Amino acid sequence: MSKVFICAAIPDEQAIKEEGAVAVATAIEAGDERRARAKFHWQFLEHYPAAQDCAYKFLVCEDKPGIPRPALDSWDAEYMQENRWDEESASFVPVETESDPMNVTFDKLAPEVQNAV
């Protein structure tokens, strides 16, 4: 029985600077993590042949309910901007956005403040 695995390839700083490499992710189906990792390496190098000259960190985890994941069998660079690898849980988690103190929701202001604006 196949399971879904989230896979990501993250380039090192030199590859980003010199080659313009970007982190990409995909979701693939495989029997276990070892097979998912092998399948991912093969598909990644087939789709990005120039990546053979760069250093990448490959991350693989089993898809679980509640974890965001990229679409099956498609390459997604945005996924890695919206999610990060969490060493503790060995899975991907959404990036926490920094709140801007100058960005205020008008409806959440006190009525007196709304009237003053």
Cβ pair 104, 94 in contact under 8 A: no
Q: Indicate the pTM of the whole model.
A: 0.77
Cα–Cα nearest to 62, from 44, 24, 96, 35: 35
Say what the pLDDT of residue 1 is: 75
- Phi first, then psi, for residue 36 (nearest 5°) are -60, -45
Give me the tens of pLDDT residue by residue for the chain, a chain 117 residues long: 799 999 999 999 998 998 889 999 999 999 999 999 999 999 999 999 988 888 999 999 999 998 889 999 899 999 999 999 999 988 999 987 766 666 667 676 777 777 776
| Contact in structure between 27 and 4 (CB atoms under 8 Å) | yes
